[in-house]
Structure 1
């Protein structure tokens, strides 16, 4: 069965998500969230990034529906949006390792 032609709006949406992934810091954030949900502070510490930097990246990742946040007292706990994001990230990482680019 032939895939449907990609519409211009769908192509633009895909490009926007891929542009959002075009940052090593954002990829590291997503990769850390593969392991477990965590707060901005935990991400900043684990990745050796400043909290404002992590917060800015998370804002974009939320806008792209790649992560979600839920309030836990005074903190917000971030996690991958859904299984699609998990699978996408794992596939990209597997491809990079398979292609010998890592």
Structure 2
């Protein structure tokens, strides 16, 4: 009897999953592209560096012991993908994560890796 109840429950879960609509193919491609951006360790390091405070390219380069040109290039990729935002103060430009979603993605990924 218990098997039957569990079987019915599993069948209900399968039906519920079938009812859940799969996003359009274009949306799934966009999601895959987003995860590709997270696939670069330099970009991850930059996002960690700016996750709690704004930093300039020079500050990020010094903190990560990397060339400014490398940081600038990766920040451009991150900006194009709406993962970081900029704030201009005079001639100085400061970078930070675009929103809490980005920080949550990084934190969830880290939690998963550390499990």
Give the alignment's TM-score, normalised by structure 1. Answer: 0.90
Aligned to 1:64: 81
In the alignment, the residues of structure 2 paired with residue 86 and residue 63 of structure 1 have an alpha-carbon distance, to the nearest angstrom, of 17
Structure with the higher fraction of residues in helix conformation? 2
Match of 2:108 in 1: 91
**Quick one: higher RCO (CA 8 Å, sep 6+), 1 or 2?**
1
For the residues of structure 2 that align with 1:4 and 1:66, how far apart are their CA atoms? 26
Off by >3 Å, runs of 4+ in structure 1: none
* Deviations, residues 52-96 of structure 1 (Å, cap 9, x unaligned): 000000000000000001101211100000011011111111111
Root mean square deviation of aligned Cα: 1.1
1:47 to 56, 64, 71: 64
Q: Is 2:55 the partner of 1:38?
A: yes
Q: Which runs of 5+ in 1 are unaligned?
A: none
TM-score w.r.t. length of structure 2: 0.81
Structure 2: gaps (5+ residues)? 1-15
The total of aligned residue pairs comes to 98
Larger radius of gyration: 2
